[in-house]
Amino acid sequence: MTVTVLTLLKRRKGMSKADFIAYYESRHRLIGEKVLKGWATRYQRNHLHPLDGTDAPHDYDVVLEIDFPDQQTCDACFAAMADPATRREIIEDEERLFDRSRMRTYRLEARASSL
């Protein structure tokens, strides 16, 4: 059974949305691909754009979705990312991009309706 991990991310203060997306997609994404390769089956970044065009302080900027084939693989991936060198690389780049105090990660339990 597929396990989906969802993370809500907020850009760091003072960074424009355009600069945030450009940095994420040209640099931080590559770290994600490197550490998730062999574990995850999908690494999707959903950049959020408010329908009213107004960014509010409480808003998030991206919804990150990562799929794993099962819980065991998910757990093994997160254990591998806890390696000190890997963790340091991730955190150092996150500090250039995100308000780390706002990061929230969840395991999804999806329920869909047929319409």
- pLDDT digit string (tens) for the chain, length 115 residues: 899 999 999 999 999 999 999 999 999 999 999 999 999 999 999 999 999 989 888 899 999 999 999 999 999 999 999 999 999 999 999 999 999 999 999 999 988 899 9
Domain containing residue 83: CATH number: 3.30.70.100
Read out DSSP for 9-48? Answer: E-BPTT--HHHHHHHIIIIIHHHHHHHHTTT-SEEEEEE-
What is the rounded distance in angstroms from the CA atom of residue 70 to the CA atom of residue 82?
A: 19
- Domain assignment present for 112: no
Number of domain units in the chain? 1
Q: What is the pLDDT of residue 58?
A: 86
Within-domain flag for 115 = no
What confidence tens digit (pLDDT) does each residue in 10-23 have?
Answer: 999 999 999 999 99
Residue 20 domain flag: yes
Residue-number span of the structural domain to which 37 is assigned: 3-107
How much is the pLDDT for 7? Answer: 98
CA distances from 60 to 30, 46, 47, 56 (A): 21, 11, 9, 9
Q: What pLDDT score does 48 carry?
A: 96
